[in-house]
Structure 1
Amino acid sequence: MATILIAALSPVGHIAPLLAVAADLVRRGDEVTVMTGPAHVAAIVAVGARPHPLPPQADFDERPFDSAQRAAASGVSGMSEAITRLFLWPMPHQAAEIDAALAATRYDAIIADHGFFGVLALLLGSRRDAPPVLFYTPTPPTLSSRDIAPIGLGLPPGHSAMRRMYYRGLTVASQKILLRGAQRAANRFLAELGARPLPVPLLDCGILADRLIVPTVPEFEYPRTDLPDNVRFVGVVRPHPPHRFAAPRWWSKLDTGRPVVHVTQGTVDNKDLSRLIEPAITALADADVTVVVSTGGRAVTDVAVPIPANTFVAEYIPHDRLLPKVDVLITNGGYGAVQQALATGVPVIVAGSTEDKPEVAARVAWSGAGINLKTGTPNPDQVRAAVTRIRTDGRYLTHARRLEVAFARRDGIAEIAALVDEVIDEHHAATR
């Protein structure tokens, strides 16, 4: 039996897969503490883990940097501002919570959401009894590489020496200029916490952990000749399914043989439904498809366009129940939702322009399993044309099914448990 601390930010895309990991570790007999926002206390208790609620200042807080601001900022520079305001500002408070947890309990390992930067103070501090750390990334890997463009630009991998040289120049520019502010902020916080400065660019901090867990398959990630040794692809990590699912009255309409299109803006960047949900509803109003819209927790009445007869709207529908009935997913590019869709063999249309969304969209297009609309605010004509292409060109479904087979070979949650055992054994061997 091991004692495990899981530390994650509270947005669903960050905490939901790690709650599933917590449930699995508890089932096998481990003692698990989950450090995240207080809104998830009931869910943590339900899976048999112990909650460690974060104070507000240590958690993800998008209020000072709302959806409109994130949409206005694009590329690497926009991502730098988002990293600083959304992820670095909580860092000192997260480090304090980790210190308090370690003072109260001897943990054998820590699994940290890659956006939980407070753990960097532990990795770069002088604490000799620090347990091994596994980073879990809820986004495409941010690691720099000589083979690909810097994260944030949404560019496909380079296939020529000239293109790779160009990408290396972009990487240097992004690290030395565009991300300089975020790097300095991180080092300032680390100094205040008594830790060493980052020995690598901030977005390469995953290599500092004992393992960097990537919840996808290699077939969906760009090939790299310089992938760090600590990176492990584990396949999809599905969120813990709800104990009860009350199917809506229209649920049987999804089994009539008519193609089903699912539309979602995720659970974070969904304050402005006119960015994707409303154009998609308008685009498909007269199409011979059934449209299922999830508002990601927003009230159904917040949808400001007429709801046509072929469209059903709900605040939330668990993907493990819905995706097996879906033929096309239209999304703003949440990494977890895209992985779940492809693991079910569902082609994807991505309209995303904030944070990691352009990178997810670019990988969807590169894999052949979907379409990158290259905008976060498509018009109805763009959405309608993309759905028509997906439905009439069988290559998208073929590539989605190819990825489904690759995902079927992996058990993400079981592989994470094995990695936990692996780093604990290595740590014990090194400290004997």
Structure 2
Amino acid sequence: MSRIIVAATPVSGHHGPLLRIASHLSGAGHQVVFLGGARFADEVRAAGPEFRPLPAEADYDDRDFAARFPERARIPAGPALQVWDVMHVFGDPTAAQCRALKDTLADFPATVVIHDNLFLGALALALGEEAATRPAVFSVGITPLIVESRDTAPPGSGLLPPADDAERERYAALAAHGEEQRKPLVDHLRECFAAAGATLPEGPLGRVFTEAADVFVQLTVPGFEYPRGDQPANIRFAGIIPIPAGDGREHPSWWPELLRAREQGRRIVVATQGTLANDDLSRLVVPALRALADRDDVLVVAATGRPDAAARVAATLPELPGNAVVAGFVPFADLLPYTDVLITNGGYGGTQAALAHGVPLVVAGASEDKPEVAARVEWTGTGVNLRTDTPTDEELRAAVATVLGNLAHRERAARLARQYADHDALATFDTLARTASTPAPAPDSAR
């Protein structure tokens, strides 16, 4: 068995998949230390691994970004905010993260470090130490694959792959312009890595971050990612981490209504804004409720992930449509098999969980990595990309009608679901951990 450190950025969407990996490895008999945000300590310990907190300069509560990053609110949404986040939310903690890893290794000599792809301290460890003197470093891609390529549009643009040579040339010009604009970001990250005792290599950032790891494990299937003729050799597609079951909790009080709707032949449409961008439900959930209010053949489940969901919806929509329920906690593992369409803001994990169940999508996302997720849904033909995070009622109504009325979306989602079923991400990490802890065979001269 292996000694493994699992390190996660203290953001829910990063922490969740890494904890499920850590819990699986711990249950498989490996010794696992989880390095993460202090607010997750009890959850980690309950899952099995030993917990160690990140140092204060690398820790924060993602439920209140303003407390740690007050200046972030002044950055306009879009590319400027993405750059700011990479510089400060993910870049600034690099040295403290790397130091925490080294401190942990001092009394827990692990053979493997597994980290989310934006826990840059682990990449600093990989770049700053000789491979023979450090643990194997496995980076986990919890966002769409960020690898610059001649076969794709510039990462973050939300554009589909080039259709011809003219579009390739246009994309190359966009990429060159983007590289020029990102020089302050690269300079900042060089300083962050230098403070951690590492040198950031030359080259496009996406490729540098990907190739710095010994193995880059992308949490998707090949069918949901653009093919690249120049893809780095260390990338491995592993499928997705299964979403947690209800853990024995009773189904919510509205569950019988869901079952009756299904028995009556009504369609189930689920609307969600994920677990982080769900403060303002008037951006997507409420418009979805309004847009479908006159469809008697549909039951709309507003899956908010918030205990105060009913009050927040009522503040904008005082009278709830008769064909809708508003939910806080939702057992998605139980709900998705009944779902005909998922309306989502484009969270990477939630989108793929739907596709793994063969559920087509309507995607309305324009922040963080969500345009890239939406573009992949469009490219795979598994749903409609609305190209905005504030869709109108009319846009949502038309998009849902398109997905429900076009069997091609469901057929393509079902085709992808078969790919997901053929992958076992947790088993992949177990195999990687065992392989990394196995000594290489001695050369013939030493036998």
Same fold (TM over 0.5): yes
TM-score by length of 1: 0.93
Whole-angstrom CA distance in 1 between matches of 2:81 and 2:439:
39
The within-5 A match list for 1:407-426 is 407-425=420-438
Residue number in structure 2 paired with 1:353: 366
Residue number in structure 2 paired with 1:30: 30
Q: Give the deviation of 1:425 after TM superposition.
A: 3.9
What are the Cα deviations for residues 175-209 of structure 1, in whole angstroms up to 9, with x where unaligned? 2x232222111101112222223333332211110
Residue type of the alignment partner of 2:292: L
Residue number in structure 2 paired with 1:314: 327
Residue number in structure 1 paired with 2:289: 281
Residue number in structure 1 paired with 2:192: 189
Q: Give the deviation of 1:163 after TM superposition.
A: 1.6
| Alignment size in residue pairs | 428
Residue number in structure 2 paired with 1:373: 386
Residue type of the alignment partner of 2:380: S
Whole-angstrom CA distance in 2 between matches of 1:166 and 1:363:
20
The within-5 A match list for 1:213-224 is 213-224=217-228
- The verdict on how the C-alpha distance between 1:69 and 1:150 changes in structure 2, with shifts beyond 3 A counting, is farther
Deviates most, 90-99 or 134-143: 90-99
Greater CA radius of gyration, 1 or 2? Answer: 2
- The verdict on how the C-alpha distance between 1:275 and 1:426 changes in structure 2, with shifts beyond 3 A counting, is farther
Residue number in structure 2 paired with 1:103: 106
- The verdict on how the C-alpha distance between 1:215 and 1:428 changes in structure 2, with shifts beyond 3 A counting, is farther
Q: Give the deviation of 1:220 after TM superposition.
A: 0.9
2:333 alignment partner, SS class: helix
Q: Give the deviation of 1:42 after TM superposition.
A: 2.0
Q: Give the deviation of 1:413 after TM superposition.
A: 1.2
TM-score by length of 2: 0.90
Deviates most, 242-251 or 224-233: 242-251
The within-5 A match list for 1:1-400 is 1-59=1-59, 61=62, 62-63=65-66, 64=69, 72-75=76-79, 77-126=80-129, 129-175=133-179, 177-204=180-207, 205-256=209-260, 257=262, 258-287=266-295, 288-297=297-306, 299-300=308-309, 301-303=311-313, 304=315, 305-306=317-318, 307-400=320-413
- The verdict on how the C-alpha distance between 1:67 and 1:271 changes in structure 2, with shifts beyond 3 A counting, is farther
Identity across matched positions, percent? 38
Q: Is the 8 A contact 1:80 1:178 kept in 2?
A: no
Deviates most, 59-68 or 49-58: 59-68
Residue type of the alignment partner of 2:367: T
- For structure 2, the residue ranges without an aligned partner over 5 or more in a row are none
Q: Is the 8 A contact 1:67 1:272 kept in 2?
A: no
- The verdict on how the C-alpha distance between 1:296 and 1:56 changes in structure 2, with shifts beyond 3 A counting, is farther
Whole-angstrom CA distance in 2 between matches of 1:215 and 1:99:
26
Q: Is the 8 A contact 1:112 1:136 kept in 2?
A: yes
Q: Give the deviation of 1:140 after TM superposition.
A: 0.4
- The verdict on how the C-alpha distance between 1:313 and 1:427 changes in structure 2, with shifts beyond 3 A counting, is farther
Residue type of the alignment partner of 2:12: V
2:133 alignment partner, SS class: coil
Q: Is the 8 A contact 2:94 2:196 kept in 1?
A: no
Residue type of the alignment partner of 2:236: R
- The verdict on how the C-alpha distance between 1:133 and 1:126 changes in structure 2, with shifts beyond 3 A counting, is closer
Residue type of the alignment partner of 1:200: G
Residue type of the alignment partner of 1:80: V
- The verdict on how the C-alpha distance between 1:308 and 1:428 changes in structure 2, with shifts beyond 3 A counting, is farther
- The verdict on how the C-alpha distance between 1:115 and 1:380 changes in structure 2, with shifts beyond 3 A counting, is same
- The verdict on how the C-alpha distance between 1:254 and 1:428 changes in structure 2, with shifts beyond 3 A counting, is farther
Whole-angstrom CA distance in 2 between matches of 1:359 and 1:242:
29
Whole-angstrom CA distance in 2 between matches of 1:79 and 1:413:
30
Q: Give the deviation of 1:242 after TM superposition.
A: 4.5
2:270 alignment partner, SS class: strand
CA RMSD across the alignment: 2.1
Q: Is the 8 A contact 1:16 1:240 kept in 2?
A: no
Whole-angstrom CA distance in 1 between matches of 2:71 and 2:329:
22
What are the Cα deviations for residues 255-304 of structure 1, in whole angstroms up to 9, with x where unaligned? 23221111111112222222111111111222231111122336211222
What are the Cα deviations for residues 221-249 of structure 1, in whole angstroms up to 9, with x where unaligned? 11110111100001121244342322111
2:106 alignment partner, SS class: helix
1:124 alignment partner, SS class: helix
Q: Give the deviation of 1:105 after TM superposition.
A: 0.8
Whole-angstrom CA distance in 1 between matches of 2:437 and 2:302:
43
